[in-house]
Amino acid sequence: MSLSADVLIIGGGLSGTMLAVQLLRLPGQRKILIIEPRAELGRGEAYSAVELGHTLNGNAARMSVDPDNPDDLTQWLTGHIAAGGWPESAEQNVPVSELFPPRGLFGVYVQQRLAEARAIGAQHGSSVEHICAEVTDLVSATDSVRLSLSDGQTLHGAYAVLATGMFPAARTPQKASSGLNAAALDPWDVTAMRLLDPQSAVLIIGSGLTMVDAVVSLEQAGHRGPIKVFSRHGLLPHVRRQPPAWVDFLAADHNLRTPRQLLRELRRQCQIASAQGIDWQAPLDTVRVHIARLWSQASDVQRRQFVRHVRPWWESHHHRSPPLSAQLLERLHGAGRLTIDAASFKRLEPSPEGGIGIRIRRRGESETRVVMGAALINSSGIEYDWRRVARPLPQQLLARGLVQPGPLALGIAAAADGSVRDAEGHASRRLFAMGPPLRGMWWESTAVTDVALQAKALAARLVSHG
C-alpha cells in the first residue's frame, strides 16, 4: 500500500502536531500525513502521562503553543476550568496564569488546537491524516522522499520532517546496553509501583526532573519506604518560582559571548538582585531568549567546556521543579525517607536474595560499593546521541549517511532553516528536522516555546519551497 502527501511529518508528539497546526493555518491546499505509533496525536512521551501529579515544570503563562499569543494556554485553561474541568486546580490557590497543569491535560489542549486548525485548513482544502505506525526507513531522492513503515506501507512526499521528539533514557533501547532498562521500573508506571512492598527501599539513578516524576509516581502508588537517589553531582532541580521582571542585561551587552563571561556576569546580576531582596531566578530567566544565539556563536571548545563543567548546574537551576513536586521532595527529604548521594552508577549487581543491586562510586572516593533495594528506576534523563539509540529510523538514517551527529553528538546536524545535513555536510532540500533532534544546534530545543517558534518558521519555509 502506498500513500502520497505534500508533507510527511515523522512523529506526532508536540513537535509534529504543532508543525501540522501551523501548516493547516497557512493559505493554500496541501495534504499532510503524520506518522506516529501512539493512538493519539499531540501527546508524545511528555504529555501521555495520566496522573494528575505529573505536571508541567512551567506555569501556564510560560507554556503557550501559539507563538503569536503568549496567553493562549492561560486563556484555554480559564475556559476549561470555568466549564468544570480540572477541579483540582483550586488546590494550587494561584491565578490561572501561575497554575502548573497536569501534563495529560496539556495534551488535551494541544489536541484541541489541532482540531481547530483542521477546521481552518478544510476551508482551503488542506487536510491532515494520522498514520498509526513507526517509520523504519527513509530514502531521499531529488524530487521526493519515500518512507517505509512498520506495517508494510510506503509513503511518498515532497518533504519529510523529523519531529521525533525526545528519547527518554528510561524508555529507549540503546546499542550499548547495560541492561539497566530491562531491570528498572518505568518512572511513570504507577500501576507497576503499586505491586511493590510499600515499605521497601527503591533506588533511583539520576536526580533531574525525571527523578522528580518518579518520586511523584511512587507517592501516588502508596510507597512509604526509603528512596535512595544517586547522581554524579547530587544536584536537585530548584523549585520554579514567579520572580519579578529583570533588566535584559544580555540584550544590552553583546560582548558577553563565552561561557565564562556569561557565568561571571550572571553571578553579578544575581548578587545585585539578592542585595535588593529580589529572587535570583529573575536575572536567570532573562537568559532564556539568548541561549540559541550564545550557543550557535560559541566555538566547539567553549561548548565542550559548558557541557563538561557548567551543564549540571545549568540543568538544576534552569530546568526547575513545579512547586507541588518540590514540596513533596522537601517533605520526604526532611523526614529522612529521601536521600541524595553524589555517586556514579557502574553496573548492576546480582542479588541472590531477590531485589536488585547496583554498584556505585561516590564522588571523591576511589572504591566502589554495592547498594541494595527492592526496585530500581532509571531517571537519567534524555538520550540525545542518535548513535546510541537502537531504533530502526535513527540507525538507518545514520547508516545511509542521510544524517550526521550534531555538535557534541547532541541530536543531528542541520542548517539554520532546519534542513538536515548529510554525512558530507550538505543540506537536504527534502528532509528537515525540528525540536529535540536540533539540541546540538541550539542547546535548548525542547521547551514548548522553542518548539512553537520552530514550527511556525518551518511551516513558512515548507510552504515557500512548495
When pLDDT is cut at 50, 70 and 90, the band that residue 387 belongs to is very high
The pLDDT of 306-313, averaged and rounded, is 90
When pLDDT is cut at 50, 70 and 90, the band that residue 435 belongs to is very high
Give residue 36's pLDDT: 98
**Which residue, chain included where needed, has cell 526547575?**
320
When pLDDT is cut at 50, 70 and 90, the band that residue 132 belongs to is very high
Q: Please give the Cα distance from 414 to 420 (Å, whole number).
A: 4
Q: Please give the Cα distance from 40 to 30 (Å, whole number).
A: 22
Q: Please give the Cα distance from 129 to 109 (Å, whole number).
A: 19
DSSP run (H or E) holding 25: helix 14-25
The pLDDT of 2-18, averaged and rounded, is 94
The pLDDT of 346-359, averaged and rounded, is 88
CB 185 within 8 A of CB 338: no
For residue 274, is pLDDT > 70?
yes
Q: Please give the Cα distance from 233 to 420 (Å, whole number).
A: 34
**Which residue, chain included where needed, has cell 556569561?**
262
Grid cell locating 269: 546580576
Give residue 198's pLDDT: 97
Contacts of 20 (CB under 8 A, 6+ apart): 9, 32, 34, 41, 114, 117, 128
What percentage of residues in the chain have a pLDDT greater than 70? 99
For residue 266, is pLDDT > 80?
yes
Locate all alpha helices (DSSP H) within 280-437, ordered by sequence.
281-285, 291-297, 300-305, 311-318, 323-334, 392-400
For residue 257, is pLDDT > 80?
no
For residue 222, is pLDDT > 90?
yes
CB 377 within 8 A of CB 214: yes
For residue 178, is pLDDT > 80?
no
Give residue 466's pLDDT: 63
Between the ranges 175-179, 262-266, 321-325, where is the mean pLDDT highest? 321-325
Mean pLDDT (the chain) is 94
For residue 465, is pLDDT > 80?
no
DSSP category for residue 24: H
For residue 309, is pLDDT > 90?
no
Among 10-24, 304-318, 394-408, the least confident range: 304-318
Among 106-110, 161-165, 278-282, 285-289, the least confident range: 285-289
Query: In angstroms, what CA-CA distances link 400 with 62, 411, 444?
Result: 39, 16, 28
The structural domains of the chain, ordered by start, are 2-54+102-167+384-465 (3.50.50.60), 170-238+320-378 (3.50.50.60), 249-318 (no CATH)
For residue 270, is pLDDT > 90?
yes
Give residue 180's pLDDT: 85
When pLDDT is cut at 50, 70 and 90, the band that residue 249 belongs to is very high
Give residue 3's pLDDT: 81
Residue 241: φ, ψ to 5°: -115, 180
Bridge partners, 371 (sequence order): 358
Question: Within 10 A of 237 (CB to CB), how many other CB atoms are there?
Answer: 22
When pLDDT is cut at 50, 70 and 90, the band that residue 73 belongs to is very high
Among 139-143, 153-157, 172-176, 312-316, the least confident range: 172-176
For residue 1, is pLDDT > 70?
no
**More confident position, 458 or 350:** 458
CB 137 within 8 A of CB 403: no
When pLDDT is cut at 50, 70 and 90, the band that residue 297 belongs to is confident
For residue 176, is pLDDT > 80?
no
DSSP category for residue 320: P
CB 397 within 8 A of CB 160: no
CB 250 within 8 A of CB 284: no
